[in-house]
Every structure is written in structure tokens, then in C-alpha cells.
Amino acid sequence: MAAERGVPGLEAQKRQVEGDGPGQPGRERPLRAGEKWYLLENHWYQQWKAYVESGDQNASSYPGRINNAELFEDLESYRLKERLVEFEEYILVPEEVWDNLVSWYGIEHEQPPIERKVVDLPSMPKVEVYLVELYLCQHSDMDNPVVASFSRVDIIDNVLKEVRRLFAIPPEEETRLWVKNSDGSCERLRNLQMTVLDACLSSGQMVIMESRSKDGTWPSSRPHIMKNSVEDEELYQGQPGVCGLTNLGNTCFMNSALQCLSNVPSLTEYFLKNCYLEELNFTNPLGMKGEIAEAYADLIKQQWSGHHRSIVPRMFKTKVGHFASQFLGYQQHDSQELLSFLLDGLHEDLNRVKKKEYIELKDAAGRPDEEVAEEAWRNHKRRNDSIIVDIFHGLFKSTLVCPECGKVSVTFDPFCYLSVPLPVSKERVMEIFFMYMDPSKKPEQHRLIVPKAGKVLDLCRTLSKHTGVPSERMMVADVFSHRFYKIYQMEESLSCILDRDDIFIYEVSVSTQEDPATADAVVLPVYLRECTRGREYSDTYYGVMLFGQPLLVSVPRDQLSWDALYQLLLHRLSRYVTRPDSEEEEEEEEDQSEEEDLYSKRPNGLSEGEEEEEEEEEETTTTTAEGSTSQEPGSETEENPSDASVGEEGAGVEGRQSSSPSTHQPAQSPRAPSSSPSPPTANQPKRKCRLPRRRKMLFTLQAVNSNGTTDRMAGQDEGSAVSFNSQPYVAIDWDSDMKKRYYNEVEAEGYVKHDCMGYTLKKNPVRLQECIELFTTVETLEEENPWYCPTCKKHQLATKKLDLWSLPETLIIHLKRFSYTKFSREKLDTLVEFPIRDLDFSDFIIKPRKETDHTVYKYDLIAVSNHYGGLRDGHYTTFARNKDSGTWFYFDDSNVSLVSKAQIESKAAYVLFYQRQDKVRHPAPPPAATSTAGAREQEDYEASCGALPSQTTSRDFMDVD
């Protein structure tokens, strides 16, 4: 009977099923991942086994049709029973054994085969008896899920396709999946090529499908928006791409870069057509797991949906800060730096190369340029192949020449943008204040033209031509917070002086070429301080605060006493310090008259005050102090002992020069208050005694350090030797009341402007082609970046030349406006003239070209990133050409307005985007009949955006974030 149906003999059946004998796979063979195995009910299998072992094809033990009914919960859903045990309730057979058994015996009517796959678990391959049952639902209706089963080796894309099929989603609608965890949180299923096993999905979990809204947003990303607001956004219909970006706080740099990239047609269409979904690289260790690409795609879809006037790029900002910590927070940054990060991040997230191979770079070694360039580009594409490479990457030739052995090294390197230098003037403008020695002359403000690479001496020589004062009789100082931050030497470089520094140049009587130790005079730095009484009923504590401009005063060595210094400084300050007249002195003396005790008379018949007045005329003191510079302003509380002598009080290295060797009493200097008489006792008689008329002191003098504070560590020994090899500092201490009466602050702050202040350094505009020529000019490597010569076997300062070999379809040109050196930083506001159409690179490309390749070297402008302001603050905006309409718009954060082509070229242009002409799409002009309607639509758009009229868009644009 069995032989008539073509069924093999029982022994042959047994060999094919059980695998007995060589070459017979059977059910005992090893499992292989991905293949199909089938469940077979164990009772039927045991009956079949007894049948074939009986050797009688007509035996009553014939098993009949395969029947797996005992394995199902019911015969309607054919759902597999839970917790079935292998070898007790079922066995597993490979696909070929199952097919043989079905062909020999058949299967019960309408009973489905129980097919399962072999999955490769971390420990070993295993047949997946129980599938993963997932609850599938839509984001808009999570209360009615549908159950579906998936193998652990199924990829997430299969799950997405099944969900779309179950809910009949149109092909053009974009969707994404979320999985709901046991704690209630939801997690994106980003990698559609990941298996169910690798995604850690388990039975009973809910998978939610979310559909993108018409305005380009995802419902889950805007839960805080009210429903009517969402409907309003979806009802609004504007021009796609004409959409502002909200400033989140100093994020104009990010908005500017994003608007430029948004208006690169080929890149935007790549994202709008969802081409990126097939190329997301989730395993690239150099990438961001596809998150930057997805965040950028969301942004583009919203901008180009036509349903937004402006959007808030908060999610994108968060992603950028997560992967690039330098962009965390809300500090101002460089739009070009963000652009560089974003292009690199998009490239790595969309890199088609999943596993990068190691490639050893080779030198040209005399081979033809075409061969070396082709090899370099091929090697680059073997590791880097993405839409960013397709659109933005070009190739330049780098030639290095060793100055010692003449070795020539030629390499071809890819680039994503060109950073071109601007022609820099060799001169700079410096504004300074000149302080004459003549106290009657006010300080003069000068604007000087000096060489950028010059020295301080060059600054003085230039000033000498304006003032007639010899340069060797000038000293240059940086004044900060009423003190000297630094006093410059003549040989120091001008690059040490920043434009923001307050530079004062002082006329001195001492030549700077003389040795200070042997010069006839000493130059003393002098500070002005205001003293206020710090405690009631005490003369010993003062709070001091620096004020006014410090001085550099030339003091002859023969006048180095406190009295002489007092008179000299009084003369120096005479323009804004009023001397008290005789009546004021008389009134002051009357106010100071007091009762004196007779017991205080000295043997010489003078009172204590009179004796000290005599001694004051006999003794002189000199002082010198040494200190370091500081730029921190501040005030302090000092202790000035009221009965201390010069040598005891002095803060620097102090000493005394006495005209009489017999003098031993301390001199009363103009730098400290006089002692108060001792109070009389109750038993002593009192007598009124009028003090003799004395000279009135407007201020006192104090030796200080360079900070303007008392140096308590030096010169406490009044017999110390005096040295003028170091720089002493002196403070003029004013009592608050005396300062109000005799110090004219308005006059002290007065200055005059020299005629040279009307001069401005003319900056002629430069052409963009000149900047590109500078980029391709031969230069010598800097000492910080030498080249290792393989012939000399050492690092050399080689000459380097860059040449353009091939250009991308979209060329980014970065104008290097920000100049940073060790000592200086500046922004170049040179006007760069760049064409909006027909930028021709045919003179710069060194690659041999064909006669027909004319258009591949001509480019049209499509976007400009602008920077207004200086180094410390500024604002970024964008000019961009809409890819659909060809109209130019001005993007200023959330504000968008029309702009004419004549307004695009400005000193603010920072990053230029050019598109090759063979890739430029020129929109067809609208029909004449609809031109009026189109104009009306544009007017409506401007009104809705709050845009200024087009003729006013030439405003200063100096808004600062």
C-alpha cells in the first residue's frame, strides 16, 4: 500500500527521519541559526516509531495523518498551549523531515503546521518554540491593542510593517515605533534593523505606532501644546522653508547654521523624502547612534511643512549639548564651529560604511597626480560614504617641501569646507592718553597708526611726532582700576597690548635708556586713595579706596624726602587741586586750638607740638618699595599708627637722611596724622595755649605695593639702606572731607582730543577671489606645527602649499574673520565682495579638465551666515535662497523677512554657501495673471511674521543676544 504511493520502505523512512547512517541528516543533526523546524505531537511520533520498527507496512500500528491537536488550546485560533514540554508532549524535526512526513502520511485537514525558527542565542542556537507576543496599537488609540506574534530573529522593521498593515496606514505617511516598559516609560525603537531579541522585547509588551502630523511634528514631542493650538498650526499654510527659529538664549549661532543648511536643496530633499531612514548607522562608534540625524530630520520636516511661522528647536539643542558638551548651556558660540560639528555628526550617523577598514596612507612617490588623487578619493570613500560626502566633500592637493634636503611630499586630502584667510593690514590703530609733565596741560587722547608687528618703542616714536616729546622720555603703562596693571619696556611687542586695554603714556625727565640706578631722578608710580574713618572715636583705622588716574612722577634724587615729595606732588596736581588760602589756614588753626597742660613743656621751652614741628624741618626720609602687578580692584581697611615715625610706618624699604647727626626724635611726616596730646589728670592745672601757625597738609603720603595696598613685610628697620634699583610705589591718601574741598574731580578727569583722533584707518574691500588666492599661497609651517621629513629623519619647518583639485556640488567657504594669537584677539570687519552668481573656480582648479566642463566650475550663492558685533558679543543671522521659489529671505531668529540681492553683501558675511550651477534649480516664473495675487500673498506673509518693509532691511543688524 505504501509502496504504491511512492513511500519508501520502513527502514528507509527510519533512516531519513532519525538520521541513522552516514549522509542522513535527520532530526538529530545540529541546529543552524535561521533555519525552520517544526513541532510534532509526541504521541503521533511514538506510534509512527513503533510502526516503522515493526517492519510490517500493513500493521495495525499505522499512525495515520499527522495530528497536532493536543498541542493547541483550541482548534479555532490554533494557539499553542502554554508550558509544553519537549520529548513529553512534542518533538522537533527539521524542515526536510517534516516535508517528508507530510508527503508520506499527510496532515489533518485545516490544521496549520507549527513552524518555528532557530535563533542564535548568546550561549547556543535554539528552536524558538514560543514566539514573542506583542500588543500593537496606535498613539491616538492605545486602549484597543491588537495581539501579534513575532520571532526573536525578526527585525523591528518587520514589526513596523505588520503594524502598518494591521491599521491600514497609507504608504506616504511617516511612522515610528515606541515600546512601553513595565515602569510605564516609553522608549524609541530607533534601529529598524535590530532584531526583536536584541531590542529586548518580551511577550506582553505594548508597541505603539506614532504618525507624524501634517505640520512635521510628532504628537509625543509636544504634549504641552493645547489641542486648539495644534489645530491652528496645522491650518496655517505658509511657504515651505520660510520658518523662523526661536532664540532659546544666545542660540542665534545655532539658528544661523541651521537656516543655512536647511536651504541646501539636495540635503533637505534627502530628509524630506525619508532617504535617511535607510541609511541611519546605529553602530558607528564615531557617530551619535542616529540621534543627531533624527533630530535634524524632525527640524527639517517642521520647517518645510509650511504649517509654522517659527518653531522652537529645544529638542535639537538638547541633543547637540548631549553629544558635544562645549555647546551645553546658553553661552554664545561660533556658528561655523557648530556647523562643523553638525556636518561631521550627520556624516557619521548616516555613514553607509558599517565597519571601517584600516587604510595606510601613501605618499605620491613621483606618481602622476591623477593616479594619486583617484587613490586618495577611493580610500576616503572606503571609510566615509554618506550624503554629506556626496554633497559637501571635495579634494585638495597638499605639497610640502623640506627646506634642508628639498624632499617633496604630495598628498591629496578631503575637505568639507574651505577656511580662507582675509588679507590683513600690517598696521593697527591704537588709542592712547598722553600725560605731560607740565601740570597745566591736560591729558591728550591720540589715535596712532603703528605696525602690528612693532614694539612699544615704535608706539612712542609715533607719538613723539605728534607731541614733540622725545620717545626716550616716555613710559608706557596699562592702567586698570586706578592702578598700573603693567608698565611696559621699550622692547616689548605691541601684540601684548589689546585694543580694549587703557594705555597711558607718561612724559618723564629720565631717559629710558639710562640705568635707573645711576640716573639723576627716580620715576615713582603714584596712586590716589581716599581714606574714610572706619571706627568712631578712633584715629587709627581707615578704609581706603583707589580713585582717579595714577601718575608716573619724576623725582630728582636730591628731593627724595617726604616734605619735598609732598611739594612736588602738590605742584603736579595743581591743575585740579586747590591750595588753601591764608584765611582758610587761619580758620583751621582756630578750630584746632585747644587746652594744653603745663607739664607737657619740654626742657627747650616748646610744647610737644612745637618741638615736633622743629624736628620736622630737620629730618628727611626716603622710601622705596617693590611690588607686583595685579588687576583686581578693591578696597581695604588699614591700620595707621598715629604716633609712628617714618621708619616705623613705611611699607616699603625705608630709611632716613638727617641734616643733623644729633637728631634722635622721630620726624612728623606729611604721610601720617600727628599725635594727640596726653589727657591731663584731675590734679594738674590747665592752661589755654594757642599752637603756632603751621602749614596745612591736604593729603598724606604712604609707601605701598603695586596693588596700592600697604606692604607690611618690608622696611620696618628705619636704619635700612635705601635702594632705587626696584620700582617704588607711593600713595597719596586723601581724607574724604579734604578731597571734597580741594580736589576737583571734573577737572581731574578732563582731557583734550588731538587732531589725529579724527583719522580712521581706511579698509578697502577685498574680493573673495583674493581670499582664495591667499588660501593657495605658499606658507612656512609654524614652530608649533612642524613636519617630519622622512629623509632628514627630523621635524622641519617646511613650506606648504594647498591647491584645489576637485570641488563638491555645495561649497562652504568660511571667512576667517576672527584672529586669535598668543597676545591678541580681533575681528576683521573687512568688506569681502562675493558674487551672488557665477563664482568661477576655473582658475583655481589644478585638475586637468575637459573642454566641455564649463559649468562644473561655476557656482551660485544660496546662503550666508552673518555675524554682527565684536569678539565679546554679537548676533548671528542668515540670508538664504528658498529652493522652491528662488526668493531670498532674511532669517533673524524667529523673524523672517524678504530681502533684495543688493543687501546680501555686507561686512557681516561670515560663512558662504555656494551651489554648483549644474545642480541649481531655477523655479519657473509665476504666470502674469497670478503675479498680483502672489504679491498680495507675500504682503500677507510679511504681516503675519511682523517683517519690516523690504526697503528697511538694511538696518544696522547690531542686535545682541
Would you please indicate which residues are annotated as catalytic (active-site) residues?
A: 252, 875
Cell triple for residue 771? Answer: 581670499
Per-residue cell: 839 = 563664482
Q: CA-CA distances (angstroms) from residue 539 to 210, 340, 594? A: 80, 65, 18
Q: How far is CA 734 from CA 50, 555, 671, 701, 742, in A?
A: 121, 21, 10, 9, 10
Structural contact between residues 807 and 775, judged by C-beta atoms closer than 8 angstroms: no
**Three-state secondary structure call for residue 119:** strand
**Cα Rg for the chain, rounded, in angstroms?**
45
Hey, what amino acid is at 596?
A: E
Cα 345 to Cα 292: distance, rounded to the nearest angstrom: 7
Q: Is 282 exposed, middle or buried (0-12, 13-18, 19+ CB in 10 A)?
A: middle
Angle between helices 265-272 and 291-303 (to 10 degrees): 100
Helix and strand counts by DSSP (H, E) for the chain: 21, 44
Amino acid occupying residue 431 = E
The two beta strands, 132-138 and 244-245, are unpaired
Asked whether the beta carbons of 473 and 509 are under 8 A apart, the reply is yes
3-state secondary structure (DSSP) of residue 287: coil
Question: Can you give 531-595 as a three-state secondary structure string?
Answer: EEECCCCCCCEEEEEEEEEEEEEEEEHHHCCHHHHHHHHHHHCCCCECCCCHHHHHHHHHHHCEE
Q: Residue written as cell 605701598?
A: 704
**Range 690-713 burial, b when 16+ CB lie within 10 A, else e:** eeeebeebbbbbbbbbbbbbbbee
The candidate with the shortest Cα–Cα distance to 342, out of 381, 296, 279, 409, is 296
Residue 116's DSSP bridge partners are 37
Find where cell 554682527 sits: 868
Alpha helices in 712-793 (DSSP H): 736-742, 745-748, 768-775
C-alpha cell belonging to residue 790: 622622512
